[in-house]
Structure 1
């Protein structure tokens, strides 16, 4: 077996602790060799409080996985690429499309790997849905992506600041699945964005796309959380993805699921990209978010407090 790839995690918050750390720990491909965070650490792993020090002192760390919020991420990613490190980006890959295109150009010019990850594409039922819809024409579809921001982003005000995307932060997960499983691209036709009076980004959104596809995102869902997508093809085939894409049925019949979970699959993909000298920077889910923010009609919602 080839030597493990040394990786540093930047941004030791909830997503890093819940998903990235255990996925690295259980992989035969990876070794968590360092962390960068103002306050978070991982037991037994060398910790740094600034990226430049880590890059200067740890030349053997070849990959940096960025888990911090999207607005400050560009500067960290650019520093890593300038230092000759491969870079893995949490979703969304940046605050703007232009900055991710710039990072992609930097990586290509330096011969480095850049991976814009979409963890929901790695959900266990997504590839079964994609296979069932391959070569078909979509007649209609609907997405319900409804969860409780107080549960998943407790007191994280950045999600409601410019660049935080509001409900489109979880909603982009649904859009990453949509752009993976549909046989042909769709585009936005209209959207309504419900933005709290005291916040900058929406807390609910309704969207209409081409090919008869609609979507409803809600960040105030109490009780059972809902992450579902259903598509109907012109030949009558019905594909239902639920539990965030981790279960799939076709015409009511449960499909065989992939074995790896979302984040282990992301790290397996990153290992392949690094070892083969390639990149994966698909920005189609982020393009939809940009379109929603551009075309969306704003409506004022009640003020939101934690």
Structure 2
């Protein structure tokens, strides 16, 4: 079977650190081109300043991976889908729920695959956590996602702009795990967003959710963490405590702790290849919907200005 010819659009840190190695390690794909108006691309691979230039006169591609900021992703995805090209959307899948829904409808109409890729769901502990929780009563959930924005997103102005999500850029990873492993839906009841006086997006958030059976789900997000970083989900159940740490890589159950190597992006590309080969899409918007609800319902509090 011929490899799926894929182009990576947006050659920044996430593309170089994760997408390009995952593509290189998956025989289902062949890197056909890269696209960026700023980055020179990969040696020996055709490079274009825009997706339009690639689609108009470049090598043929079957799929694109969009690694750009979410605010510009809709037009890129729509242009690709209009030509029957399969689309991989880095998280978050878009700047709004409505544009993701429009892309999903367009993909269905043209028969192309659209994949909203939540990489944290492919962390080693997530699938076994989901299986273990399926038969448990959930009593309480505590999500703590604290990191240093200066380490992980230095100088990325877009992330503080409308549609860039602020602290929800990492926080949505936690929500992607929670919506995957918890046996019942959760929804927001109240919350606080701390927004720097010179920014449009929050630097911290404290959110109170509950599931449909009434179990409380508390979420603590902060981008001002220094020293050790915290990416933990602790779930109290009728059978004891489950803890996912290190962003889902480490799973601790009453029976012990398990840890496996990082295979998030290889897992994403394996899933993308399967979707393309079977003519399906995978567009789960639940994590983004919860973020939208936070912006809709939580109280906004102005805090001191933030500078990188």
Give the TM-score of the pair, scaled to structure 1: 0.97
In structure 2, the residue matched to 1:202 is: 202
Aligned to 1:227: 231
Q: Which of the residues 249, 254, 262 maps onto 1:251?
A: 254
Q: Comparing 245-254 with 16-25, which one deviates more in the overlay?
A: 245-254
- 3-state DSSP of counterpart to 1:187: strand
Question: Conserved in 1, the CA contact under 8 Å of 2:249 and 2:262?
Answer: no
Q: Which residue of 2 is the match for residue 293 of structure 1? A: 295
SS at match of 1:240: strand
The residue number in structure 1 matching 2:31 is 32
Contact 1:197-1:301 at 8 Å conserved across structures: yes
Match of 1:113 in 2: 113
Helix, strand or coil for the counterpart of 2:15? helix
* Equivalent position SS for 2:70: coil
**Counterpart Cα distance in 1 of 2:127 and 2:148:** 27
Equivalent runs, 1:1-306 vs 2, <5 Å: 2-40=1-39, 41-58=41-58, 60-210=60-210, 211-233=215-237, 235-251=238-254, 253-255=256-258, 257=260, 261-306=263-308
Shift of 1:104: 0.1
SS in 2 for 1:72: helix
**CA offsets 1:58-116 (integer angstroms, 9 cap, x no match):** 46310011000000100000000011100000000000000000000000000110000
Residues 25-79 of structure 1, C-alpha deviation per residue, up to 9 Å, x if partnerless? 1111111110110021112211000111101224631001100000010000000
Number of equivalent positions = 303
Task: Report the Cα distance in structure 1 between the residues aligned to 2:262 and 2:2, rounded to whole angstroms.
Answer: 21
- How far has the Cα of 1:154 moved from its partner? 0.6
Aligned-pair CA distance for 1:185: 0.7
| Pairwise CA distance, 1:136 | 2.3
**Runs of 4+ off more than 6 Å:** none
Q: Distance in 1 between matches of 2:250 and 2:86?
A: 32
Which segments of 5 or more consecutive residues in structure 1 lack a partner in the other structure? Answer: none
The Cα offsets for residues 237-260 of structure 1, whole Å up to 9 and x where unpaired, read as 311000000110111511475x66
User: What SS does the corresponding residue of 1:71 show, helix, strand or coil?
Assistant: helix
Query: For structure 2, which runs of at least 5 residues remain unmatched after alignment?
Result: none
